[in-house]
Amino acid sequence: MSDQANTAAVSDHPLAGRPLSGADTVVQVMADEGVDTIFGYSGGAILPIYDAVFRYNDRHKRGDGSSPMPLIVPANEQGAGFMAAGYARASGKVGVVMVTSGPGATNTVTPVRDSMADSVPLVVICGQVPLAAIGTDAFQEAPVSAIMGAVAKHIFLVTDAEQLEATVRSAFELARTGRPGPVVVDIPKDIQNQEVAFKGHGVLPLHGYRRRLAKVQENILSDDACERFFTMLSESERPLIYAGGGVINANAAKAMRRLANEYGIPVTTTLMALGASDTTHPLALHMLGMHGIASANYAVEDCDFLIAIGARFDDRVAGNPGQFAPNAKNIAHFDVDFAEIGKVKRVNWHHVGMLERDLTDMLAYGRRIGFEKTFSEWHKEIAELKSEYALNYDRESELIQPYAVIEEINRHSKGEAIISTGVGQHQMWAAQYFDFREPRLWLTSGSMGTMGFGLPAAIGAQFARPDRTVIDIDGDGSIRMNIGELETATTYKLPVKVIVLNNFGDGMVRQWQKLYFGGRMSGSDKSLHNKDFVKAAEADGFKFAKRLEHKTDLKKIIKEFMQFKGPAFLEVIIDRDAGVYPMVGPGLSYDSMITGDYIKSREKPDEEAPGPSEMF
């Protein structure tokens, strides 16, 4: 967006020309950007903006007494960051975090990096010590520009009050456009207090960024490119769409579904794209990759034309890039980021542009030329793969199996609840056994794999989607990281449902230690095991807080848990030896997939196990 266009669009701003403090300017820009929820923790260097939020809400209080821009206070700043990320992932809007200087800012580093890795739009407003004190090791000073510059999409240190308004407005533009990501604005306290005339318009001259963005926006599919794509499709007998998180970030799921349905192309998704394809559809293959469904991974092996959309061939999907989709004669790649093309896997055809528009244009071209081809034999093979290699587990065990817990919750949620997770075995079980009918129902830390993500992200998602059931599937190790946010859920009377699958240790680490380290449980087995999670939940205000220990009680207690109207907490004591299967070892190809004792596997070649240096 050019500054001229921006000016023309808002030249009649009612506050234009009025003197406002820097703090009031920040809050007014947030209001203009449509911010309706702020997550943050106060402190000395951010107090002027916190006060401005209070005064703004007081002046604009709604008829029912509610605030137009409520400020949600978590247990700590990391929780605030993940709440904002959960809000952004569930809504598609920019999440906003507001923290103080020093430790307030450094506590947000992990959620900022997490959001950068998963392309989540955030704006982080940090207080900073006054300009004159920067570099003097002042109280609660931290080099935010140096720290955040390495992990954020962009960082601004505001040194001129006249530029503050344009800077904050530009931060929102950067966060939401192109490949979304977190943008940090570091604002010294004296800049927050200084008065300047409010303009009501204007952005910074980010010429290089806007040129790159315009190049992508203007890169419309040519008829020649469409012709080459449909030539490859016509030569194919086993086409397969491999959809990544970019499909959801670009709001392109409907366009992708239309293209897939028009020509009967099966779809498999990455961990980050669950819900891009309705997992209950006959041609949906659910998730591929390291812990992908066996049928999905085998379909990747069998396909002769792989169509990657908004995906980046990461190591959890293409562990051995040279052997990924080994029978694909052609690979096509749609993306929004030029850097992803050919980065890991060489492709025959690619297009960098706006995914929703490009997929719609590709379908329109196919209709225009009257393209027709049936893939009925491939559809039969897909159905056979899904039947033959379906997920399964020891259904006769007297111990509670985590898969059975999730299957039972899924019977209640019907693929329509928002599912948030921590990181570990429970994350993969949730990804495998839940259905997702729509995008933005699956919230997880994918690239960073950050334990402690699940609970605060669920809280943020509940603020974003109060109409949805929100469930946090967590592990006993992961929830400890941000367990203080249980109180946040009850403080704000959020009907978040929290379930802890307790196997008394770091289950995923233990699984790897059993497979690759001779069963030596270094630091992972019962590392912490004295916490009474039910009492902790009760202490934090949960009226429903129960422990499920007996298999015979599973259906009854989960029904009570799901039907409870307010915040609900359930700890489930699961089989400590339950594993995540299928599993493809790091750096290995899909023909080396381990499926465990209860999922059928194709014959696989003998291959050396990965060494310790390849773990994780």
Note the Cα 78 to chain centre separation in Å. Answer: 16
Q: Are strands 330-335 and 305-309 parallel, antiparallel or unpaired?
A: parallel
Active site residues: 77, 139-140, 189, 508
Say if pTM beats, i.e. exceeds, 0.75.
Answer: yes
Alpha-carbon distance of 545 to 570, in angstroms, equals 6
* Order of all β-strands in the sheet with 239-243: 284-287, 267-269, 239-243, 305-309, 330-335, 349-352
Give the residue from 488, 482, 468, 496 showing the smallest Cα distance to 423. Answer: 482
CA–CA–CA angle 8, 11, 15 (5° rounding): 155
Is position 324 within any domain? yes
| Helices of type H across 44-163 | 47-59, 77-91, 103-106, 109-117, 144-149
Among 208, 242, 266, where does a domain finish? 208
**Exposure class string for 250-267: b at 16+ Cβ within 10 A, else e:** bebbebbbebbeebbbbb
For residue 49, which phi and psi values (nearest 5 degrees)? -75, -40
List Cβ<8 Å contacts ≥24 apart for 258-263. Answer: 258/359, 258/360, 258/363, 259/359, 259/362, 259/363, 262/363, 262/366, 262/367, 263/233, 263/239, 263/366, 263/371, 263/373, 263/375
Is position 292 within any domain? yes
Alpha-carbon distance of 440 to 433, in angstroms, equals 17
Query: Is residue 237 located within the same domain as residue 315?
Result: yes
- Looking up residue 308, the CATH number of its domain turns out to be 3.40.50.1220
Query: Is residue 26 located within the same domain as residue 135?
Result: yes
Dihedral sign of CA atoms 89, 417, 507, 311 in order: negative
pLDDT of residue 2: 45
Query: Is residue 377 located within the same domain as residue 457?
Result: no
Query: Is residue 24 located within the same domain as residue 172?
Result: yes
Peptide bond into 567 cis (omega under 30): no
Query: Is residue 360 located within the same domain as residue 408?
Result: no
Q: Are strands 267-269 and 284-287 parallel, antiparallel or unpaired?
A: parallel
Query: Is residue 373 located within the same domain as residue 253?
Result: yes
Partners of residue 569 on adjacent β-strands: 498, 545
Query: Is residue 247 located within the same domain as residue 166?
Result: no
Query: pLDDT tens digits for 57-77?
Result: 999 999 998 999 999 999 999
Exposure of 302 in the CB half-sphere (CA atoms within 13 A): 18
Contact predicate 200/13, CB 8 Å: yes
Query: Is residue 143 located within the same domain as residue 289?
Result: no
Give the residue from 72, 68, 49, 46 showing the smallest Cα distance to 58. Answer: 68
Taking CA atoms, 307 is separated from 113, 230, 276, in Å, by 29, 12, 15
Query: pLDDT tens digits for 329-359?
Result: 999 999 999 999 999 999 999 999 999 999 9
Is position 474 within any domain? yes
Is position 79 within any domain? yes
Is position 600 within any domain? no
Query: Is residue 235 located within the same domain as residue 343?
Result: yes
Query: Is residue 204 located within the same domain as residue 247?
Result: no
- Looking up residue 533, the CATH number of its domain turns out to be 3.40.50.970
39 is in which domain, residue-wise?
A: 3-208
Alpha-carbon distance of 311 to 292, in angstroms, equals 15
Domain tally, the chain = 3
Is position 587 within any domain? no
pLDDT of residue 11: 61
Among 180, 208, 236, where does a domain finish? 208
Is position 520 within any domain? yes
**Under-70 pLDDT residues of the chain:** 1-11, 604-616
pLDDT of residue 5: 42
Among 322, 355, 388, where does a domain finish? 388
Query: Is residue 283 located within the same domain as residue 366?
Result: yes
Is position 586 within any domain? no
Alpha-carbon distance of 66 to 54, in angstroms, equals 12
Partners of residue 186 on adjacent β-strands: 126, 157
Query: Is residue 189 located within the same domain as residue 278?
Result: no
